[in-house]
Amino acid sequence: MQDNKSNLLEHEVRAEIDRWVAKYPPEHKQSAVLSALHLAQDQNGGWISQDLLDAVADYLDMPRIAVYEVATFYTMFDLKPVGKHKIGLCTNISCQLQGSDKIADHLKTCLGVDFGCTTNDGQFTLREVECLGACRNGPVMHLDKTYHENLTPEKIDEILAAVEDQA
Amino acid sequence: MDKFNIEIDGKTIEADPGSMLIEAADNNGIHIPRFCYHKKLSVAANCRMCLVEVEKAPKPLPACATPVTAGMIVRTRSKKALEAQRAVMEFLLINHPLDCPICDQGGECELQDVAMGYGKDLSRYTEGKRTVKDKNIGPLISTEMTRCIQCTRCVRFGEEVAGFREMGGMNRGEHLEIGTYLDHNLQSEVSGNIIDLCPVGALTSKPFRFKARAWELQQRPSIAPHDALGSNINVHLRRGEVMRVVPRDNESINETWLSDRDRFAYTGLNSDDRLMQPMIKRKGVWETVDWSLALEQAAIGLKEIINLEGADELAALASTQSTLEELYLLQKIMRCLGSPHVDHRVRQIDFSCQDAMPLFPGLYQSIEQIEHADQILILGSNIHHDMPLLALRIRKAQVHGAKVHAINPLPFTYHFDVQHDCVCDPQDMIILLMGIAAALNISLGVEASISDTAKAIATDLQSGKRVTILLGVLVEHHPQSSLIRHLAKLIADQCLGQVGLLTEGPNAAGAWLAGMVPHRQAAGKKANKMGQDAAQLCETPKKGYVLFNLEPLDIGQTNVMQTLKAAKFVIALTSFKQADLLDVADVILPIAPFTETVGTFVNLTGLWQSFTAVSKPFGEVRPGWKVLRVLGNLLELPGFDYEDAFAIRDELKAQVDAFTPDAPAPLPAITKPSAQEGLVRVGHWPIYRGDPLVRRAQPLQDSGLNGSVAAFVHPALAVRLKLTVGQHVIVQQSHAHIQLPLQVDERLPMNVVYIPAGYSETAILADYAAVILGAAT
């Protein structure tokens, strides 16, 4: 018998999951798994630890393996520690035609890391992502949960400076 | 709805409405290639191998997911169908290694077979292949995940059949991998079935890995010797050596499945402990001797006891792993010698209902009927471990809407939903049952309080149309086993239901029929001379004992070692060397395990299943029935001239057919149980500790399912006793004390100490007996 890890989810997180669970029929608690994983990820500073995956499974009465399946399926979930901020730059065709290659190079230079890496100071994780669905305003990237469109190298400098000011 | 006709490959066949094309084809011997489809699993339709041409459909359709319709015209070998199948095959092989000669599945691989039949002989693919890291999922199953074609049969088996999902599909698209995510030993007691289900070499048997090729193996049918279901098996041999065990389909017993215990216990056959030659003890020293000397010594020893002490000083105890023929001959020898003291119920304490037992203990309904029950009450059984495949039937019933309730003195995990999972101390079990009975308006003659749980269970049971109450081994070993049986019977009768007795070992029913009980002879005839039961035989020493297929730690009685040590003469007929046996016995006769002997097991539905030897006995080992036959002759007893083992079976069968036993005596009266005082030790033989063969199957021992050898208590009890987890504690009973590490389990009742049986460390402790825990200094 495994220990129930539900309590690892913060009280407010559990309350918020309950709100999502209430939207579905009672026998389909597992429908709230995506929302629950997002909440768990936010609670933990941007990534979901093994214990929190188990906690979500236990809280929603799901087999743990089923939660692992969901969490590994979607790229929005990070299962290893990441930087404080996540940057995802679209490199699909529309953005590419609008010069996303140049933006990519600029971002890599500014941050000093390649795609898929985290800066040494732990501030940023840079990633290449598929279409973000904002093609008309390419190149597009997301910084955490905010979209930034019509990117230019100068605009990137501003965005990064603003984040660093905040810190 | 009536069946209707469809046409497949020009052949008109009848099909059931609602069935899938592939089922109709299978039922009529038309083969359609497939990987993901399996008759016992849900339809996934993800491999696309079963594409066939259906007239009027624009594209080929998957036969596994296309329901039949009247007048359908299907072509499985048309140009269009073949092209589709060939294309799917090509895609499947893109990422699959083409190195069958080094793959363990080679020669019995569905992918290999289908590729031969439906693929091309050349690969056009020149790019790099995908590779996947292998997973470690325990000592039973080997993985080579690069070979996986993602049919998801293993995933669906866990979810749908075992009820316990451990395998899943991680990541997605090109990166999809089947695995457990975290490396851990599979915890399912039926995990081995995914070896059979896997159509490729991704999941293969670890103990069998690289041991033999499929085409070198001979297949012989046999019967699994571990639980009362009597699962049908095929034993695979190479040059006479047992290489592995696989299930043999039998819808009415094991369907197409096999428990891990039945599948992997064969690995114990080659244990270093296997006895090869008879042994006798002279002046405290063991000597290996030939059969004639050993048998002579055995006969002389028995005669001496009879001449000097009287036949009443002889007793025989046997295990339920013994065959019907062996048990029949053993009791025949003993009774011919004048001793009525024979028993197989070596773990039972309460015998007060032995006259109320029917001809043999069993389910009293078919195994399939369990699936159709709508209310199931499990009393005293770790059902998944005690009878893994019966638990799968219960799961099916539950999935179909049945409510399952469980009352146990120990906490167990269930892979189906349990409406009321009651864990209470041995006395409270009875009080709860009395409450249920009272809530059902059964007059018990004693006062009974109705708890809310009792009322709720009673209401559920009353609403049932097909109620089944299953009594497991923890009831059989219970000090008030008879009382519980009586209450269960009353409750079942009130709900027009059925009580089933889940016995231990493969042949408890056979032991009753063969007369291996002190109060009844073969076929259930009343014994001329009443013998003593197993508990009395272990409590008050006799001068001579015959132990058949039993090691002292298989016996659940207090003082068994002291009693055997005190005896003047002990003969052990067994397959394995064991320290305790060497300690107490004077003559050891090596007898054949189930693979090397012919015999019969009677399963819990009363089905007589005979099997023959699949391999030659090791060394000087002889089948038990032959040893007993010769012993009978040496003792100059009449009626021991059997030509073969079937003659023994037929002799007993004739007696069973000719004799109508008296109606069983009424069950003993209901009395009020006394409250539990102090702590009580409850034991249970863990899944892979129950018999000598399985204890020697190393892969099963390594699986982790046995749990640890420790004293388990409720955390609050540990606090009260000022004990901490992991600390060594002294476990004290009236006659014995041992040291064990302490473990906690918050689901345990406050006054129950769980200590597993089946280990030499704990064998001295009495079951269901008072116990005191204290810190070891």
ipTM of the complex: 0.89
- Contact (CB<8Å) A1/B747: yes
Residue B674's pLDDT is 79
CB contact under 8 A, B165 and A72: no
- Secondary structure of B602-642 as H, E, C letters: ECCCCCEEEECCCCCCCCCCECHHHHHHHHHHHCCCCCCCC
Residue contact B165–A65, C-beta within 8 A = yes
Q: Are the CB atoms for A144 and A85 separated by under 8 Å?
A: yes
- Please give the DSSP secondary-structure letter assigned to residue B771: E
pLDDT recorded at residue A1: 46
Residues of chain B whose beta carbon is less than 8 angstroms from a beta carbon of chain A are 159, 164-172, 180-182, 411, 413, 745, 747
pLDDT digits (tens, 9 = 90+) for A58-84: 999 999 999 999 999 998 899 999 999
Strand-strand pairing, B375-379 and B467-471: parallel
Residues 6 or more apart whose CB falls under 8 angstroms from that of B333 comprise B316, B628, B631, B632, B635, B637, B640
Task: Give the model's pLDDT for residue B614.
Answer: 96
* Residues in chain A within 8 Å Cβ distance of B167: 65
3-state SS assignment for residue B408: strand
Angle CA B575–B579–B580, to nearest 5:
95
Output the six-digit token pair for B335.
Answer: 């009774």
Q: Percentage of chain A surpassing pLDDT 70?
A: 98
User: What is the dihedral angle through the alpha carbons of A59, A63, A69, A72, rounded to the nearest 10 degrees?
Assistant: 40
Q: List CB contacts (< 8 A) between B166 and chain A.
A: 65
- Please, are residues B254 and B389 in contact by the beta-carbon 8 Å criterion? yes
φ, ψ of residue B327 to 5 degrees: the values are: -65, -40
Of B599, B600, B581, B580, the closest CA to residue B589 belongs to B581
User: For residues B492 and B476, is the Cβ–Cβ distance under 8 A?
Assistant: no
CA-closest candidate to residue B384, choices B354, B424, B361, B418: B418
What residues of A are in contact with residue B194 (Cβ under 8 Å)? none
Which of B165, B181, B413 comes nearest A1 by C-beta? B413
Q: How many helices (H) and strands (E) are present in chain B, helices listed first?
A: 24, 32
Please give the model's pTM, rounded to 2 decimal places: 0.94
Q: What is the pLDDT of residues B249-299, one digit of tens each?
A: 999 999 999 999 999 999 999 999 999 999 999 999 999 999 999 999 999
Mean pLDDT, range B6-11, rounded to an integer: 94
Average pLDDT of B662-670? 86
pLDDT in tens, B381-407: 999 999 999 999 999 999 999 999 999
When pLDDT is averaged across residues B118-146 and rounded to a whole number, the result is: 92
Picking from A84, A87, A73, the residue whose alpha carbon sits closest to that of residue A132 is: A87
Look at B171 and A73 and tell me if their CB atoms are within 8 Å. Answer: yes
Cα separation, B285 vs B287, whole angstroms: 6
- E strands, A66-123, where? 85-90, 117-118
Average pLDDT over residues B463-480: 96
- Token pair 């020009």 in the structure block, residue: B10
CB B201 within 8 A of CB B105: yes
Distance in angstroms (rounded) separating the CA atoms of residues B134 and B142: 9
Q: Which residue among B167, B411, B747 sits closest to A65, beta carbon to beta carbon?
A: B167
Mutation for testing the B interface, residue in A72, A75, A78, A80 having most B CBs under 10 Å:
A72
CA–CA separation, A110 vs A89, rounded Å? 14
**Helix B426-439 with B481-494: angle, nearest 10 deg:** 20
Residue numbers in B near A73 (CB within 8 A): 170-172
Lay out the sheet containing A146-148: strands in order across: A117-118, A124-129, A85-90, A141-143, A146-148
- CB-CB under 8 Å, A66 with B181: no
Report the candidate in B406, B653, B668, B351 with the shortest Cα–Cα distance to residue B530: B351
Distance CA(B148)–CA(B130), nearest Å, equals: 11
Banded pLDDT at A103 (limits 50, 70, 90): very high
Report the mean per-residue pLDDT for chain A: 93
Q: Are B376 and B619 in contact (CB under 8 A)?
A: no
Exposure on the CB side of residue B680, measured as CA atoms within 13 A: 22
| B677 pLDDT tier (thresholds 50, 70, 90) | confident
The answer to whether residues B320 and B596 touch, using CB atoms and an 8 Å cutoff, is no
H-helix or E-strand containing B238? strand B232-238
* Tokens encoding B167: 């395998």
Look at B50-59, B134-143, B211-220, B552-561 and tell me which has the smallest mean pLDDT: B552-561
HSE (CB half, 13 Å, CA atoms) of B481? 25
Band of the pLDDT at B735, cuts 50, 70, 90?
confident
Angle at B763 between CA B761 and CA B769, to 5 degrees: 120
Q: What are phi and psi of B569, to 5 degrees?
A: -145, 125
Residue among B169, B182, B413 minimizing CB distance to A69: B169
Taking contacts as CB-CB distances below 8 angstroms, the residues of chain B near A63 are 159, 164-165
Question: Which residue of B132, B135, B165 to mutate against A (max A Cβ within 10 Å)?
Answer: B165
Q: Torsions phi, psi of B739, nearest 5?
A: -110, 135
Beta bridge partners of B288: B279
Pairing of strands B4-8, B11-15: antiparallel
Maximum pairwise Cα distance, chain A: 56
Residues of A near B (CB-CB distance < 8 A)?
1, 50, 63, 65-66, 68-69, 72-73
- In angstroms, the separation between the Cα of residue A63 and the nearest Cα of chain B is 6
Look at chain B and count its residues: 777
DSSP string, B411-446: ----SS--SEEEE--HHHHHHHHHHHHHHTT---SS
| Structure tokens given for B213 | 């090729």
Q: How many CB pairs under 8 A join A and B?
A: 30
Q: Do B166 and A65 touch (CB under 8 A)?
A: yes
User: What pLDDT score does B676 carry?
Assistant: 76
Give φ, ψ of B458 to 5 degrees: -60, -45
Q: Do residues B395 and B163 touch, judged by C-beta distance below 8 A?
A: yes
Q: Which amino acid is at B207?
A: P
Closest-approach residue (CA) in chain A for B707:
A1
- Check B181 against A72: CB less than 8 A apart: yes
B711-713 and B736-744: which strand pairing? parallel
Q: What is the percent of chain B where pLDDT is above 90?
A: 93
Residue A167: predicted pLDDT: 63
CA distance B412 to chain A (A): 8
- Please say if the pLDDT value at position A122 is more than 60: yes
- φ and ψ at B466, to 5 degrees? -130, 85
With beta carbons under 8 A apart, name residues in chain A contacting B172: 72-73
Burial (Cβ within 10 Å: 0-12, 13-18, ≥19) of residue B494:
middle
Confidence band, pLDDT 50/70/90 cuts, at residue A2:
low
What is the tens place of the pLDDT at every residue in B29-87? 999 999 999 999 999 999 999 999 999 999 999 999 999 999 999 999 999 999 999 99
Neighbours of B579 (CB within 10 A): 12
Helix axes A64-73, A33-43, angle to 10 degrees: 80
Collapsed DSSP state (helix, strand, coil) of residue B303 = helix
List Cα–Cα distances, B439 to B237, B448, B458, in angstroms.
56, 9, 6
3-state secondary structure of A10: coil
pLDDT of residue B179: 94
Chain B environment of A65 (Cβ under 8 Å): 165-168, 180-181
Q: Measured between CB atoms, which of A1, A50, A65 is closest to B168?
A: A65
Alpha carbons within 13 A on the beta-carbon side of B637: 22
Q: What are phi and psi of B592, to 5 degrees?
A: -80, 140
Does the beta-carbon distance from B413 to A65 stay under 8 Å? no
Distance from CA of A69 to the nearest CA of B (A): 5
Report strand pairing: B544-548 vs B420-423. unpaired
> Other C-beta atoms within 10 Å of B409: how many?
25
SS3 B95: coil
- Tell me the average pLDDT across B707-728: 95
Q: In angstroms, rounded to a whole number, what is the distance separating the alpha carbons of residues B225 and B705?
A: 19
